[in-house]
Amino acid sequence: MPARTALRAASFERNEITIIPETATLVRLCFRVKVNRKTVNVRPETPRTDEQLLNELQRRAALFFWEKADPGTGLVNDRANNFDSDDYTAASTAATGYALAALPIAVEHGWLNRDEAAARARTTLRFLLTMPHKHGWMIHFVDKRNGQRLWESEFSSIDTALLLSGAIVCGQYFSHNPSAVDISVLADALYRRIDWWWMLTNNGAQPDKNLLSHGWKPETGFISYDYGTYNEAILLYLLGLGAPVNPLPDRVWPGIRRSLQTYASTESLKGGPIFVHQMPHGFFYFRSQRDKLGFDYWVSSTNAMRIQYQYCIDRATEFQTYAEGFWGLNAGDGPDGYAAYGVIDSPDDGTVSPTGAISAILFLPTIALSAARSLYTKIGYALWGTYGFANAFNIDRNWFARDVIGIDLGMELLSIENHRSGLVWTLMDSFYSVAPARRAAGFHVTSEPEPRPVHRVESNAAIA
Q: How far apart are CA 231 and CA 271, in angstroms?
A: 6
Which of 252-261, 300-309, 373-382 shows the lowest per-residue confidence on average (mean pLDDT)? 373-382
pLDDT at 9 over 60: no
pLDDT at 6 over 50: no
| Structural domains of the chain ordered from first start | 1-46 (no CATH), 47-463 (1.50.10.140)
Tell me, rounded to whole angstroms, the distance of Cα 287 from its chain centroid.
18
Q: Can you give the pLDDT at residue 458?
A: 73
Mean pLDDT confidence for 218-233: 96
DSSP at 362: G
pLDDT (tens digit per residue) in 255-271: 999 999 999 999 999 99
CA dist 65 → 143, 198, 369 (Å): 16, 32, 23
pLDDT (tens digit per residue) in 231-247: 999 999 999 999 999 99
| Better-predicted residue by pLDDT, 266 or 32 | 266
pLDDT at 59 over 50: yes
pLDDT at 462 over 80: no
pLDDT at 343 over 50: yes
Mean pLDDT confidence for 378-400: 95
pLDDT (tens digit per residue) in 92-129: 999 999 999 999 999 999 999 999 999 999 999 999 99
Q: Mean pLDDT in the chain? A: 89
Confidence of residue 349 (pLDDT cuts 50, 70, 90): very high
Percent of the chain with pLDDT over 90: 85
User: Which pairs with CB-CB distance under 8 Å and at least 24 residues apart come from 222-231?
Assistant: 223/154, 227/157, 227/158, 227/256, 228/255, 228/256, 228/257, 229/256, 229/257, 229/258, 229/259, 229/270, 230/256, 230/257, 230/258, 230/259, 230/269, 230/270, 230/271, 230/276, 231/271, 231/276
pLDDT at 335 over 80: yes
Percent of the chain with pLDDT over 70: 89
Q: Can you give the pLDDT at residue 46?
A: 64
* Strand, coil or helix: 137: strand
Q: Classify 15 in phi/psi space as left (phi over 0), alpha (psi -120 to 50) or beta.
A: left
pLDDT at 177 over 70: yes
| Better-predicted residue by pLDDT, 58 or 47 | 58
Q: How far apart are CA 68 and CA 403, in angstroms?
A: 13
CB neighbours (10 Å) of residue 181?
12
HSE-CB of 61 using CA atoms within 13 angstroms? 34
| Better-predicted residue by pLDDT, 45 or 422 | 422
Mean pLDDT confidence for 341-360: 95
Q: How far apart are CA 34 and CA 261, in angstroms?
A: 53
Q: Can you give the pLDDT at residue 48?
A: 75
| Better-predicted residue by pLDDT, 134 or 39 | 134
Q: Can you give the pLDDT at residue 448?
A: 95
- List of residues 6+ apart from 336 with CB closer than 8 A: none
In the chain, count H helices and then E strands: 17, 23
| Better-predicted residue by pLDDT, 325 or 20 | 325
DSSP at 449: P
Confirm if 12 and 381 have CB atoms less than 8 A apart. yes
Confirm if 65 and 116 have CB atoms less than 8 A apart. no
Tally of residues, the chain: 464
- List of residues 6+ apart from 334 with CB closer than 8 A: 341, 349, 351, 392, 394, 399
pLDDT at 324 over 90: yes
pLDDT (tens digit per residue) in 425-440: 999 999 999 999 999 9
